[in-house]
């Protein structure tokens, strides 16, 4: 794979280990070739690595298999997912899932990533819909500035929402940024 094919969440292989691109930036200096600055996360150990490549360099794509699974439940040991085709259940540790656990609701369909038969991570849908369980009351007259307030959703995740959002309303959240997108009608 060419370095110009890099993007966020791309899977590459470096020194025999699979990495996922966490952050990506293209820099074009005044002279010379463009540079691709990337922050990479090791899919096995979770360690973070910073790498810079020049335009035209070749990279090895990681052979990562993706299987459609459904989130079932959380336990003290980890998070349980079920294969939607074979009904086989697997458990992922909290460390492996990381902050993505804030967006997991019952029966949410996700893609679990496997590297050499071992689960190494998951890919969430770009947006999820959740119910607001608690939020501060909005103050009348504050709406002209586009003000926001804190709200907690059913998984315990806290985010900023517009003042008109109330408890028990359903909202759409972008899983890539963790930000409020829109209110969803019941």
**Can you give the pLDDT at residue 140?**
64
Give the residue range(s) of CATH 2.40.50.140 domains in the chain. Answer: 64-123, 127-184
Task: For residue 131, give every residue at least 6 positions away whose Cβ sits within 8 Å of its Cβ, in sequence order, or none.
Answer: 153, 154, 168, 169, 170
List residues bridging with 127 in a β-sheet: 174
**Can you give the pLDDT at residue 147?**
81
**Can you give the pLDDT at residue 20?**
85
Give the residue range(s) of CATH 2.30.30.30 domains in the chain. Answer: 3-61
Q: Does the domain at residues 64-123 carry the CATH identifier 3.40.1280.10?
A: no
Which residues of the chain have a pLDDT value below 50? none
Q: Using CA atoms, how far apart are residues 77 and 80, in angstroms rounded to an integer?
A: 9
* Exposure string for 47-56, b = 16+ CB within 10 A, e = fewer: eeeeeebeee
**Can you give the pLDDT at residue 159?**
93
- Cβ–Cβ under 8 Å, residues 84 and 69: yes
Residues 101-126 pLDDT 10s:
899 999 999 999 888 888 888 888 98
**Can you give the pLDDT at residue 133?**
94
Q: How many residues does the chain have?
A: 186
CATH domain 3-61 topology: SH3 type barrels. (2.30.30)
CATH class of 127-184: mainly beta
Torsion of CA 176, 180, 184, 186, to 10 degrees: 100
**Can you give the pLDDT at residue 108?**
92
Predicted TM-score (pTM) of this structure: 0.73
């Amino acid at each position: 794979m060419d370095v110009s094919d890099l993007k966020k969440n791309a899977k590459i292989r470096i020194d025999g280990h699979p990495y996922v691109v966490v952050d990506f930036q293209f820099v074009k200096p005044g002279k010379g070739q463009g540079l691709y600055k990337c922050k990479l996360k090791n899919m096995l150990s979770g360690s973070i690595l910073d790498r810079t490549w020049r335009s035209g360099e070749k990279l090895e794509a990681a052979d990562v298999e993706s299987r459609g699974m459904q989130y079932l439940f959380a336990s003290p040991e980890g998070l349980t997912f079920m294969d939607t085709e074979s009904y086989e259940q697997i458990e992922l540790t909290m460390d492996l899932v990381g902050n993505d656990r804030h967006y997991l609701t019952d029966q949410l369909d996700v893609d679990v990533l496997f590297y050499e038969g071992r689960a190494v991570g998951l890919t969430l849908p770009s947006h999820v819909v959740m119910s607001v369980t608690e939020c501060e009351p909005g103050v009348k007259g504050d709406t002209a500035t586009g003000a926001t307030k804190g709200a907690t959703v059913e998984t315990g995740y806290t985010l900023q929402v517009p003042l008109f959002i109330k408890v028990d309303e359903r909202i759409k959240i972008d899983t890539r940024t963790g930000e409020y997108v829109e209110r969803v009608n019941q």
